[in-house]
Amino acid sequence: MALIVRRGRLPATPHTEFRFDSRFTLEEIHGSFGFSGPYSRKIHLRRYPTVQAKPPRLGDFDLTPAAPRAKLALQPYHIRSSRIPFFSDAIRGRVPLLHGPSTVVSVAKPKSSTPKDAFFRNGEKHELYYVQEGRGTLQTEYGSLPLRKGLYVVIPKGTTYQVFLETRTAFFLVIESSSLIEFPPHYLNHAGQAKLTAPIVETEIELPRLASPIDRLGRFAIDVKHDGGRITRLTLGHHPFDLVGWEGSLYPFGFHIDNHHGIAREIHTAPPMHQTFQAGAPPSSGFSICSFVPQMEGWHPKEIPAPYAHYNVDSDECMFFSNVRYGARTGIIEEGSITFHPGALPHSPHGRAAELSTASRGRKSQRLAVMLDTFFENLSITQAAYRFRDPRYPLSWHAAQLG
């Protein structure tokens, strides 16, 4: 992201002597693309983050996606993630559902906060949370971000964090990517500012609040995800949230789905108009994330608001239904449902949904959904996704036709 943020205190000139309360501070660069991409400059109070107090060891949990036991025929899936039980915390309770070489889609339905003295760091993927339910705080070395329903939170690879709940339970959709997750560059002008025609504006980006550095010695565990989901526990001898200041363009941030200001068109608007984020280099690699927010349906006198049957042969499509008001599939999907259309499988409205949608011509829709379309990356389903699938889904269009 082009927005350069500065928090706390740090020297204006990089890599120069800077004292905080008369102590000599220590500089760290959290960078991407090998010193050439977005980065942040962090100023630690008195210790480097390299000071491990105990040897690294394998963690007591694992996030490696498990494949279903049987070899499966190609089929569309409806994964009823609302039926996955609430358990553990936002990290240990993460359930991978779909995965490919550079993308993982999971849900986490925690019923507790992460432990106070244990931290998490994704060492191999950038993360995007979408808060389906619950409130809490994302506590990171860059500061804290309040979590609430409908918020997207982007957490760069390598960020150390914890997730504290204020509600009894929470429900997060979690998307991981090997590449940076950012606003689409075609929304930005040459100065890196959102164009006046873009559905997003920078002033609605939610930035972390940095508190005073924590200057505490002890044993602080950091569980690092690497190698496809294996966890290694590092132990620092000091609290990792010890920054006196930081500046840069690589940091966690929030963006509420309501702040995706939908672009309407006289005749049905195709998903690229709903894009909020991207990862990698679409359309050659990575993925696109679209926000299907409530918006005015087309007002052409012959408009059909429901989508056309479609298949995009370079994409596997995953759709998370934040509510059930998605006309094309009403009665089939539930709140929290995930549909997955892999391998160029066409999908469409069912039954009379397209015809019935003409009644909402020129009216505001009530839908709320998050879509991920990969580019040249096929995703596989996991054992958990298979267990929570709706086995009738591949025939749901046929059943609706008969009904």
How many whole angstroms from its chain centre is CA 217? 33
Q: Which residues bind to Fe ion, rule: CB under 5 A?
A: 317
CA 286 → CA 50, 155, 182, 252, 378, distances in Å?
31, 17, 11, 20, 11
Q: What would the 3-class secondary structure string for 311-376 be? A: CCCCCCEEEEECCCCCHHHCCCCCCCEEEEECCCCCECCCCCHHHHHHHHCCCECCCCEEEEEECC
Q: Which two tokens stand for residue 140?
A: 């990171």
Q: What angle do CA 105, 106, 108 make, to 5 degrees?
A: 155
- If phi over 0 gives left and psi between -120 and 50 gives alpha, with beta otherwise, what is residue 227? left
Q: Which is nearer to Fe ion, 89 or 317 (CB)?
A: 317
Q: Which is nearer to Fe ion, 124 or 317 (CB)?
A: 317
CB closest to Fe ion, residue no = 317
Which of 252, 231, 224 has the alpha carbon at shortest distance from 121? 224
Closest approach, Cβ 187 to Fe ion, in A, equals 22
Closest approach, Cβ 370 to Fe ion, in A, equals 13
Q: Which is nearer to Fe ion, 160 or 365 (CB)?
A: 365
* Rg of the chain, C-alpha, whole Å: 22
How many whole angstroms from its chain centre is CA 17? 37
Q: Which is nearer to Fe ion, 247 or 317 (CB)?
A: 317
The owner of tokens 């694992």 is 62
Closest approach, Cβ 281 to Fe ion, in A, equals 22
Report which secondary-structure segment, H or E, holds 105.
Answer: strand 103-108
CA distance linking residue 264 with residue 275, whole number of Å: 13
CA distance linking residue 295 with residue 371, whole number of Å: 16
Q: Which is nearer to Fe ion, 133 or 317 (CB)?
A: 317
Q: Which is nearer to Fe ion, 317 or 377 (CB)?
A: 317
Closest approach, Cβ 309 to Fe ion, in A, equals 9
Q: Which is nearer to Fe ion, 263 or 344 (CB)?
A: 344
Q: Which is nearer to Fe ion, 127 or 317 (CB)?
A: 317
Three-class secondary structure of residue 387 per DSSP: helix
| Long-range CB contact pairs, 87-95, < 8 A, 24+ | 87/111, 88/112, 89/113, 89/114, 89/115, 89/163, 90/114, 90/163, 90/165, 90/170, 90/172, 91/61, 91/120, 91/163, 91/223, 92/61, 94/63, 94/174, 95/382, 95/384
Closest approach, Cβ 317 to Fe ion, in A, equals 5
Q: Which is nearer to Fe ion, 10 or 318 (CB)?
A: 318
Asked, as a colleague might, if the bond just before 283 is cis with ω within 30 of 0, I would say: yes
Closest approach, Cβ 245 to Fe ion, in A, equals 45
